[in-house]
Structure 1
Amino acid sequence: MEQFFNISVITDNFTYFMIGRFPHGPLGGVGLTLYLAAVSCVLSFIGGLLLGLLSISRYPVVRYPVLAFINLIRGMPLLMVIFWMYFLMPALFGKVAENNTVIMALTLFTSAYMSRIVVAGIEGIPKGQTEAAISTGLTHWQTMRYIILPQGLRNMIPSFVNQFVSLIKDTSLAFIVGVSELTHVATQINNRTMAFPTEIFVFIAIVYFILCYAFTSLSRWLEGRLAWRKAI
């Protein structure tokens, strides 16, 4: 059995799978995967919020270009967006670290999807609240800031967590431009050993499953908490 499924390649390289060469070199493996996902998620939240608000602007000169940008990004594969950032950013800004190009690509791609979550959350708030707030003298943006967004964002949390789970899986495409995240590390180890591809890729599949299942469970817990608070 050991001949067909030898876990020694996992135990011997476990630290490399988890953090790459860190602290004696750049962070890699699971650590870099989570770093890419976390930074991209925070930036995507900000970007998605801005794009979502601008896409429902009352001014067509603002709304239509933003909607065109959102539909353009959503209509393209993430791999293409990564290649765009990989070749475009150095051309515009000089030498840019591969990690930053991937973060930018993930941010643009995920922001486009998060913007629709924001719009759905805002549209889920009864229109009467907007009308009541405006009748008290609040401006449109004051109403959005103080009345609509606080309620809408609470309803968006489970969807944001689900998008974060998707983002963790999307980081696996970063290996195509040489970023040393989990999939790239697994490929390096597989190319070095040339004997245990099944063990290596089954292991990283299990790691991705554990990460995604943990955040999916968090999403279900948040949905339950929000439903319980609404019931009260």
Structure 2
Amino acid sequence: MADQEAVKLYGMWSSPFSRRVELALKLKGVPFEYIEEDLSNKSPLLLKYNPIHKKVPVLVHNGKPVVESLVILEYVDEIWKNNPILPQDPYERAMARFWGSFIDDKILVTAKKVHFCLDKEREAVILEVCEQMKMLEKQLNGKDFFGGDKIGFVDIVGNIVAFWFPITQKVLGSDFFTSEKFPGLFKWIGKLQEIDVVNESRPPREKHLAYVRAQFEALKIAPK
């Protein structure tokens, strides 16, 4: 049996990738020590445990590091069998992995372009993001969660869409992500907000808003 007392999570309070691992551990009821990292002054331990990417999150279990949030989620699910977050059916399991990767490799990659492109280009990129979000929304198919009647892998990964996108949108002064355009996703967000550990595993809204606004202002891309 895994030694739960030997679990450490190196993260950063505003990182959606750190927060998704934190959420998975809490859903499993796994006690862990959280170590906050200053990414402008990375600790020697972070650099030791993740020498390739040099970023959070890093899960250290029994002295062994696991990096990259999607990999960590699967590791957590394999080590602690209670409250599974991935489906047991092989096909459904593969589909959950696919949509988790879709969120990170498609939606997030496209959304990042919105921050850095010119106004004329921004409209086309926002349209692309919306098309990808519609593809994701379609997977709910009337369910409360992507995992069915309870939170699962895709819901945990998609937390970034639920709680980080609205913050970024507010700072940018945009309105592409609304309940009118995405009723299914907003219904899903409402269900997520009913879960205590989900609310515990996301940044305080006003602090997060101020942080994102400061980031954009530093890049001189926030609306004046």
Same fold, TM exceeding 0.5? no
Structure with more strand by fraction: 2
Structure with more helix by fraction: 1
Structure 1 length normalisation: TM-score?
0.29
Which one has more relative contact order, counting CA pairs under 8 Å at least 6 apart? 1
Structure 2 length normalisation: TM-score?
0.29
